[in-house]
Chains A and B, each alone.
Chain A
């Protein structure tokens, strides 16, 4: 492979953004910037599919590795992927074009800048999922904050500034500790190359504190209880496309970070803090499900349900079982698709009615039958009905958790009941019943582009629900490898201790 395909994937959207910046203007009659950005993101999607096709599933090491000196002897620009990263890259390149497509009349001002922000964001996200150097990772990881901050702050709702700052404050605070930890790692090992760090390992006595530093950053981004309160606010204020990116991809960076760094680099630290993660995850699952049950704003409800779903993800990752981790990865992909779709669904009726309050709706099945069907599919996905991706993820996580700890699995399973409760109740209040609000009668059903966007999300969520094999087999070797490394370094540690 001579073409630096990963760099191409990372750079293409950014190049596109630059192109739009210099060639078009905000007041463009023909929306050429929109078509250019759709074109670029679709090309990027096919490029990532090609990457998947080229990818060797049976090889546990990193593939397509590119390594260049950046600052001599200190930082290398090093990227490469394994089975885990590739799925997230495809998720990113898959969601982004849909996101751009969905931008219709909602973004009234400065559409060009908005598209640039989204494209830059795509570059950075792909960068996160393939960087193999801690410093590079940190740059991409934090860089992702800036476009999101702008998207919320400029194109958001009424309380956008408060939400944007809350979002920034939370995420930055966690990240600063991670930066310190990265510097510390360089100081004690002399490298920030992830592959090398995997080989040499990090001295056990530093692992706990380093783990905590990374954890503080990832926990905020996941988000885990009790640092989750930025998420509902950010979602409520963000424009639809922003919510979609936030829920579908941004949150997944943390889950990916847990797998790649917390477990990969600090096995002893991870083992030590398993209980902490379990407890926080369980609280997230039960607590936020109950909170979601009582929400009056649709976006907030889905935001809280995201916290609960991510609670399952963190739970699954730290079970350190094949099923648990594969389930978590699967759950993240599934949540990426389903929550994106749910936010888009809310966007659809918000555009028509300009309200997100549940009580203003009811009975829209009579005016929007197509919409009701689509929303039902995603509702079922969100509550984890077998046959959707949601089930496969949750089931694998719970079965993994059960292997590790009965009680944890039992409590987490309660979350599944609550999940059904808040989703079905939401659906009932919005879609069923008599139309009471007269304005609803004039609502139009899904138009073509909305239908295309939503069905392209519905199809994978059903297809992989019935046939998850392609996804699971992609991550299988990498996860096995991860767990083996984890166990062997734990064994060595325990042997030395004796």
Chain B
């Protein structure tokens, strides 16, 4: 069964990618979608098996790299953690596959698109089912590659190509850390298999390494290096710049890769490595700090963006920040819970946005939308559910997971925990504001599009709406139903069993009541306020923006990260490259090397030619000089 889960998407990808001429475009659509759906159903069966029987399995497929004491295998590891990821990945992926049949129906390269989607699913599955760091890395790079393909799917668009390369390279920077982390793990433990590494972590907690004269604790260093990888993949502060640009890809891609699955791989990595992270107080506080910074920073940018997909992208960034700071305060299961619920409502939002974009004929600017709630009734309702779930409206799934994160941060008891909790609450408020801004500007108010008549706006086909409905069901109920299983006190320990490691059990206390009510109250009250600001009294906002121009520009330009990076890295590296080539290679090495030598030989031979003048008296003279010199030497000696 595990083999089917893993390889069905790959088979679909190969069929659709290489044989689409033989089997036909339509058949490609169905075969990829159905294969992934079968995978999804099998994953759900496994998930239930894990819930009921604590099923665990570790299948060895084949040897991979086997050099000296380095032994790496291709394998499938099933435990609670990977079963959750299996469900998330396969479920969302199959829905996105079906949705794409409708969304991409006018695209001439459909089979290629479906092949990439399936290939991505396969790579993601190898990532989550790995039992060692190297296969994880394989999946890690594999999903990055598919993301590269899919962002640049519309290869004629220059911006899409640049965004694709940017995504790949920024991720490579993260992978640089990740790879070093793996090297260090191998160096220290002599193996890269989870089981063996995790088992021996306690023996190595006091080992220091010397690097450039610095004394670093080995475990801390491993954790930080792995986290750099996670930052790249999950678009955390400093390495986030690729995610908003990645929205150049088709919308189903954004939903699958840049919201529900790939970007959560970083969170998965940290949770998977909980047996190491638990021994590194330092790394955990770094994670908390980066996580909450990202949450706050991305939300602040989302407030002022106008591109519907970019807003959701920054929102994803911000929600990933939440997951990280949950992991940072040691509540790994809560991080996983948020990952789980977030996958539903964020995929819903993206696909809903896709439906809107589809209706508006590829318009993405929310200022050019509005007033279409009657025209797009399904999309409207579904987006409403998604927005409510994202903002953490009581009883919907985001409420359970996000509030749990804030509570656990508070219960951590340290000053960092309190700080994180307050940032969490503030960010929740911002989340609510930008989400409702998006929602109201898209569906309420006046119709603002000049190019399309409002009567030409029509609802998306059923093949797109049905996946949205399934996601909406998930967004409403996933929180409530799985709360006990994921984060309930007794049940969750039993469920996660050995896949998540807690050095000390999580606090069982409850935060004070006022604290529990704080976030939901803010969230609920922000709805009318947003409605007032973004629909009723737009002039108030314009007034506010004019009063704070520099601050507004700062947010609008995304804290100027792109400009700074471009200046520091891209331009200067290009300059250095040119310098090395034109100055050192050509001017110094070549001129002094081969060209120089051949010149010297030329000059010398020109001089030597003069000796052979052909005049006897010259030869005689030279002989005489030579002879006398020899004589003198002999006499003096």
Q: Spell out A's residues near B (CB within 8 Å).
A: 165-166, 169-170, 226-227, 229-230, 287, 290-295, 321-323, 326-327, 363, 365, 380, 385-387, 391-392, 395-396, 398-399, 402-403, 406-407, 409-410, 413-414, 416-417, 420-421, 424-425, 428, 431-434, 466-469, 472-473, 476, 480
Contacts and interface: CB of A to CB of B under 8 A. Distances in A.
Contact of A294 (B63, B179, B574, B598): B574
A486 to B, nearest CB: 15
Contacts of A322: 67-69
A402 B173 contact: no
Interface string B564-588: 0000000001101110110011100
A432 B168 contact: no
B65 interface: yes
Contacts of A414: 176
Contact of A398 (B172, B179, B590): B179
Contacts of A469: 63-64, 66
Contact of B67 (A291, A327, A365): A327
Given A409-B180, A413-B179, A468-B66, 12 more contacts: A287-B584, A290-B573, A396-B70, A399-B70, A402-B184, A416-B176, A428-B161, A432-B155, A432-B156, A433-B156, A467-B64, A473-B66
Nearest to A403: B187
Given A323-B68, A399-B183, A409-B183, A294 B577 contact: yes
A413 B225 CA distance: 13
Contacts of A409: 180, 183
A323 B182 CA distance: 14
B187 A402 contact: yes
Contacts of B593: 170, 226-227, 229
A428 B165 contact: yes
B305 to A, nearest CB: 26
B173 A417 contact: yes
A391 B134 CA distance: 11
B67 A326 contact: yes
B545 interface: no
A433 B155 contact: yes
B609 to A, nearest CB: 21
13 contacts: A170-B593, A227-B593, A290-B573, A293-B577, A295-B581, A386-B138, A410-B180, A413-B180, A432-B161, A467-B62, A468-B66, A469-B63, A473-B66
A195 B176 CA distance: 42
A385 B140 CA distance: 10
Contacts of B175: 416
A230 B161 contact: no
A321 B67 CA distance: 10
7 nearest A-B pairs in the assembled complex, by CB-CB distance: A322-B68, A294-B577, A290-B577, A402-B183, A386-B138, A432-B155, A291-B581
A409 B181 CA distance: 11
A323 B162 CA distance: 36
A319 to B, nearest CB: 12
A137 B63 CA distance: 37
B142 A387 contact: yes
Given A294-B581, A410-B180, A416-B179, A399 B186 contact: yes
B589 interface: yes
Given A169-B594, A323-B68, A467-B64, A433 B158 contact: yes
Contacts, number: 144
Given A170-B594, A434-B156, A395 B176 contact: no
Interface in B50-87: 62-70, 74
A229 B580 CA distance: 12
A290 B186 contact: no
A169 B593 CA distance: 10
A417 B576 contact: no
Contacts of B180: 402, 409-410, 413
B103 to A, nearest CB: 22
B597 interface: yes
B65 A424 contact: no
A44 to B, nearest CB: 29
Interface of A (DSSP majority class): helix
A396 B65 contact: yes
A434 B161 CA distance: 11
A434 to B, nearest CB: 5
A385 B179 CA distance: 12
Given A410-B180, A428-B165, A467-B62, A226 B589 contact: yes
Contacts of B470: none
Contacts of A402: 180, 183-184, 186-187
Contacts of A472: 65-67
Contact of A229 (B70, B573, B589): B589
A476 B186 CA distance: 19
B19 to A, nearest CB: 13
Contacts of B578: 294
Contacts of A294: 574, 577-578, 581
Contacts of A476: 67
Contacts of A403: 187
Nearest to B141: A386
A396 B186 CA distance: 11
A469 to B, nearest CB: 5
B212 interface: yes
B598 A398 contact: no
Nearest to B145: A385
Interface in B124-175: 134, 137-138, 141-142, 145, 148, 152, 155-156, 158, 161-162, 164-165, 168-169, 172-173, 175
Contacts of B176: 413-414, 416-417
Contacts of B598: 165, 169
Contact of A291 (B70, B172, B187, B577): B577
A467 B134 CA distance: 14
B411 to A, nearest CB: 38
A229 B585 contact: yes
B156 A293 contact: no
Given A227-B593, A293-B577, A424-B168, A380 B145 contact: yes
Contacts of A424: 148, 165, 168-169
A365 B577 contact: no
A403 to B, nearest CB: 6
A323 B165 contact: no
Nearest to B221: A406
A365 B108 CA distance: 14
Nearest to A372: B155
Contacts of A293: 573-574, 577
B211 interface: yes
Contacts of B466: none
A322 B69 CA distance: 9
A358 B51 CA distance: 56
Contacts of B574: 293-294
A314 to B, nearest CB: 18
B207 interface: no
B475 to A, nearest CB: 34
Nearest to A288: B580
B32 to A, nearest CB: 18
Contacts of B158: 433
Given A293-B573, A294-B578, A416-B176, A407 B211 contact: yes
A290 to B, nearest CB: 4
A359 to B, nearest CB: 14
B209 interface: yes
Find the residue from A170, A380, A392, A424 having the highest chain B CB count within 10 A: A424
A432 B152 contact: yes
Given A398-B179, A414-B176, A229 B168 contact: no
A476 B70 CA distance: 12
A389 B580 CA distance: 29
Nearest to A330: B67
Contacts of A417: 169, 172-173, 176
B577 A468 contact: no
Contacts of A431: 155
Contact of B580 (A287, A386, A396): A287
Contacts of A421: 165, 169, 172
